Amino acid sequence: MAQGASQTKACALLAISVRTYQRWIQEGGVKGDARPEVERPSLANRLSEVEREQILAVCNRPEYSHLPPSQIVPMLVDEGEYLASESSFYRLLHEAGQAQRRGRSQPPQRRAKP
C-alpha cells in the first residue's frame, strides 16, 4: 500500500479482510496476536478436585466397580444422590485410565463335545 496499491486489493492478495487489517493496525502500529497471553477465567461449572475424587471413589466401590456410568448414574439418582452427569463420569474414568470395559470378568465357556 505504501507504493500505491489499494487497501482492498492488498488485503485480497494476503487473503485477509479489510476489517482484519484495520484491527491489526489500531493505535498507530501493528498489533501482535494477543490470544495466547489472554487470561481466561475458569469455568463456573467445572468439577472441583474433591468432587472428582468422590466420583472416582463411587465408581470404584465394589457394588459399582463392574458397571458402566450409564448404569451407575441412574442407580445413584434412584438412591437420591446426584454427583455429576453420565458424560462427566465417562470423562473422569477416561482421565483416570479406567475407561476400559467395566464388566465382571468371566472365564471362557467351554463347549460340550457332541
Per-residue pLDDT of the chain (114 residues; tens, 9 = 90+): 778 889 899 889 889 899 988 888 877 777 777 788 888 888 888 999 999 999 999 999 999 988 999 999 999 999 999 999 999 999 999 999 988 876 665 555 555 555
pTM of the model: 0.57
> 19, 8 in Cβ contact below 8 A?
no
How far is the C-alpha of 4 from the C-alpha of 1, rounded, in Å?
5
Cα(30)–Cα(21) distance, integer angstroms? 9
Supply the pLDDT for residue 100. Answer: 80
* pLDDT reported for residue 95: 93
For residue 10, with 0-12 CB atoms within 10 Å meaning exposed, 13-18 middle and 19 or more buried, which class applies?
Answer: middle
* CA 97 – CA 60 distance, rounded (Å): 12
